[in-house]
Amino acid sequence: MSQTTQDLPGTGPAPAGPALPDANRKALRETKSTTPSLFRLLLRDKFACSGAVVLLAVLLTAIFGPALMGDLATKQNLLFANKAPFNPANGWEYFLGSDSLGRSVLARLVVATRTTLMVAVPAVAVAMIIGSLWGVWAGYHRGWRENVSMRLADIIMSFPSLLLAVVVLYVFSPSVANIVAILALTRIPIYLRTARAESAELQSRTFVDAARTFGARPNAIIGRHVIPVVIPTILTLATLEFCYVMLAESSLSFLGIGIQPPDVSWGLLVSQGRQYLQTAWWLSIFPGLAIVITAISANLLAAWLRIATDPSQRWRLAVPGRKKLITRIPAKESK
């Protein structure tokens, strides 16, 4: 809405109010009430809303958690070794149990949250930005740019990404920056392909043709017409990729070339606890649950985001009794 005034700098708001007849103003108000704000829509959707709440909690934990935990995550206390969870007698720090060195699982989980996000978020962000810009550019121009880009993507994809990571991290040191870089590199083709496909489809749309007939430059058209449409898809993809990168990081950590102890990540916690699975299940299960719950929350939010950010689909979220509709589908006969 406000973009009109951005496009036309130096002007006040259009004289909307007084000139309008009453009936028209009423109609305007009605259109507003039928398409509520994103936030309100989110509140209406139970699943997406809980997903968002969980992700927010994870984020807050990553930011403030380690400070609150102090040295609890590394402090060893053999008196409290291998304590089972959910025993209030052990005090809140051992609520989720403890490992064989008597370290609090809860505290380690909280500290690991930060490490996990510090790898996953930048890796996803870097891959997303590079991959989607590249893809949009390749898809818009078609021709050799598209061919070269896609073959490059194929080459990266055909390389087993973990193997690539192993080689690279073995040669260079397995620092957080290197892990982020290698994870980002191997995931770029995913965004590249998706963005290319959407952009190639969009560049054949009539409104893009219309922009070409004014003589708008390709980059201007990409910025104005292609990127805003591609963003929701890419964001959805990125939330899904977030899960993948989290798991990839834990695989690397498991192989010993990811996060290095004494740093901990969720993946590393799972792999460290794996050998105690029979005797101390909580060591792997809780970090595993953290991964699963975060992944599901990201997925739920992604599914919602995809619809909510598309103006032509948004109304679907506002239809009351969506679930009832599914049961009402009559048997459709083809003839």
Partner 1 sequence: MTMTATNEGTRRPGEPNRVVLRVAGLDVDIRTPSGEIRAVSGTGFVARAGQTLALLGESGCGKSMTAKAIAGLLDPVAHVSGGTVELDGKDLNRMSAKERRKVAGAELGIVFQDALTVLNPVYPVGVQLGEAFRIHRGLSAKAARKEAIALMKRVGIPEPESRVDAFPHQFSGGMRQRILIAMAVALSPKLLIADEPTTALDVTVQAQIMDLLRRLRQEENMAVVLITHDLAVVAEEADDVSVMYAGTVAEQGPVEQVFATPRHPYTKGLLESVPVDAERGSNLSSIPGSPPELKNIPAGCVYQDRCPLARELCRQERPVLREVAPGQQAACHFSELLATDETLEEIKS
Partner 2 sequence: MTALLDRSHSGADVALEVHDVTKTFQVARSASGNNRLRALDGINLTVGRGETLGLVGESGCGKSTLARTLMLLEKPDSGTVAFEGQDPFGLKGKELLAWRRRVQMVFQDPFASLNARMTAGEIISEPWATHRSLYKTGREREARLHELLQLVGLRPSDAKKSPQEFSGGQRQRIGIARALALNPELIILDEPVSALDLSVQAQVLNLLNDLQQKLGVSYIFISHDLSVVRHVTDRVAVMYLGRIIETGTTEDVFERPLHPYTAALMSASPKLDAASRPAERIVLQGELPSPLDPPSGCRFRTRCWKAQDVCATQAPPRRTASEAGRVALPVPTLRGAAPAAHAAECHFPLEDPQDAGLRATAAGT
Helices (H) and strands (E) in the chain, counts: 15, 0
Contact criterion met (CB below 8 Å) for 140 and 221: yes
Q: Distance from CA of residue 233 to its chain's centroid?
A: 11
The interface region with partner 2, picked from 53-61, 101-109, 225-233, 258-266 by CB under 8 A, is 225-233
The 4-33 contact track toward partner 1, x by CB under 8 A, reads -----------------------x--x--x
- Identify the CA nearest to 196 among candidates 242, 136, 155: 136
Least separation in angstroms between CB 304 and partner 1: 16
Least separation in angstroms between CB 319 and partner 1: 5
Binder among 4, 24, 34, 219 for partner 1 (CB under 8 A)? 34
Least separation in angstroms between CB 330 and partner 1: 6
In the window 215-274, what residues touch partner 1 (CB under 8 A)? Answer: none
The interface region with partner 1, picked from 125-133, 209-217, 241-249, 314-322 by CB under 8 A, is 314-322
Least separation in angstroms between CB 119 and partner 2: 34
Q: Which residues have CB under 8 Å from 84's CB, separation 6+?
A: 97, 280, 282
Give the Cα separation of 39 and 35 in Å (integer): 11
Give the Cα separation of 126 and 188 in Å (integer): 8
**89 near partner 1 (CB under 8 A):** no
Contact criterion met (CB below 8 Å) for 188 and 127: yes
1 binds, among partner 1, partner 2, none (CB under 5 to 8 A by kind): partner 2
Distance separating the N- and C-terminal Cα atoms of the chain: 46
Angle at 202 between CA 300 and CA 42, to 5 degrees: 25
32 binds, among partner 1, partner 2, none (CB under 5 to 8 A by kind): none
The 176-215 contact track toward partner 2, x by CB under 8 A, reads -----------------------------xxx-xxxxxxx
Q: Which two tokens stand for residue 48?
A: 């997406």
The 113-142 contact track toward partner 1, x by CB under 8 A, reads ------------------------------
**216 near partner 2 (CB under 8 A):** yes
Place of tokens 């679907």: 316
**63 near partner 2 (CB under 8 A):** no
Least separation in angstroms between CB 31 and partner 2: 6
Amino acid 310 reads D
Give the Cα separation of 300 and 297 in Å (integer): 5
167 binds, among partner 2, partner 1, none (CB under 5 to 8 A by kind): none
Contact criterion met (CB below 8 Å) for 236 and 303: yes
Q: Which residues bind partner 1 (CB under 8 A)?
A: 27, 30, 33-34, 315, 318-321, 325-326, 328-335
